[in-house]
Amino acid sequence: MSSKENFNQAMFEMFGIGKDPNEKKAAENSTNNKDEVKTEMKKEVKPEIKKETAPAAKPAAKTAYPKTILAEGTVFEGNLTSKGDVEIGGQLKGNVVTEGNIVLHSEILGDVKAANLDILSDTLTGNVEVAGKVTLAAGSEIKGNITAQNLVCSGKIIGDMAVEESVCFDELSHVVGNVTAKYITINHGAYIDGKISIKK
């Protein structure tokens, strides 16, 4: 076999281009076997298919919900449910449930459930369930039980407090109720009438 025939055969076997030298010999030997030889020569060269995996799904970004504001001078009766932050400047008679934070400037008559609660003034009459921190400013008041992660009090609380982590009562605090927490700080001048329990 000449080097040219050798090269042609190699190209045919590797890339499927050109003519197979065996085809020429088979055609010379028998015209009856022509179809069989062509069938053998037409080997399908299938391209290699690379399997690609879909990229991992990114976690959905947390949706930012708009703040709900109950303006000063407004009176609202009924339950308020929100996914975003809530700021209450008017009077509300009903429960408030939100995944966001609540800032209170006015009176609420109802239970509250939120991520965090800041009472800047006035009174909340109802139970409080907060995943994070409850803060009472001087002059504010809660009449009800409190469940929270942390509590900072400069106001008045009438009710029991079940706090997971820390409680801080400053000198303006006035508390009537039982307190349970891991860490409790009581500043000079704070008034507490109730049982104090330290969690382990």
Give 137's contacts (C-beta < 8 A, 6+ positions apart): 118, 119, 120, 121, 154, 155
Identify the pLDDT of residue 91: 93
d(CA 131, CA 79): 20
pLDDT band at 200 (very low <50, low <70, confident <90, very high): confident
pLDDT band at 167 (very low <50, low <70, confident <90, very high): very high
CB < 8 Å & 24+ apart, contacts of 55-60:
none
Tokens of 19: 């003519």
How far is Cα of residue 38 from the mean position of the Cα atoms in its chain?
64
On the question of pLDDT at 79 being above 80, the answer is: yes
DSSP-derived 3-state class of residue 66 = coil
21 contacts 1 by C-beta, under 8 angstroms: yes
HSE-up (13 A, CA, CB side) for residue 104:
32
pTM of the model: 0.68
44-65 mean pLDDT: 64
80-104 mean pLDDT: 96
- Sorted by where each begins, the domain ranges of the chain are 3-41, 68-198
51-66 mean pLDDT: 67
d(CA 22, CA 195): 102
On the question of pLDDT at 164 being above 80, the answer is: yes
Tell me the Ramachandran region of residue 198: left when phi exceeds 0, alpha when psi lies from -120 to 50, beta otherwise: beta
7-12 mean pLDDT: 68
d(CA 87, CA 80): 11
171-185 mean pLDDT: 97
* Closest residue by Cα to residue 128 from 114, 143, 146: 146
194 contacts 176 by C-beta, under 8 angstroms: yes
Tokens of 49: 């298919």
Identify the pLDDT of residue 86: 96
Q: Which residue has the higher pLDDT, 32 or 56?
A: 56
Identify the pLDDT of residue 37: 46
On the question of pLDDT at 36 being above 60, the answer is: no
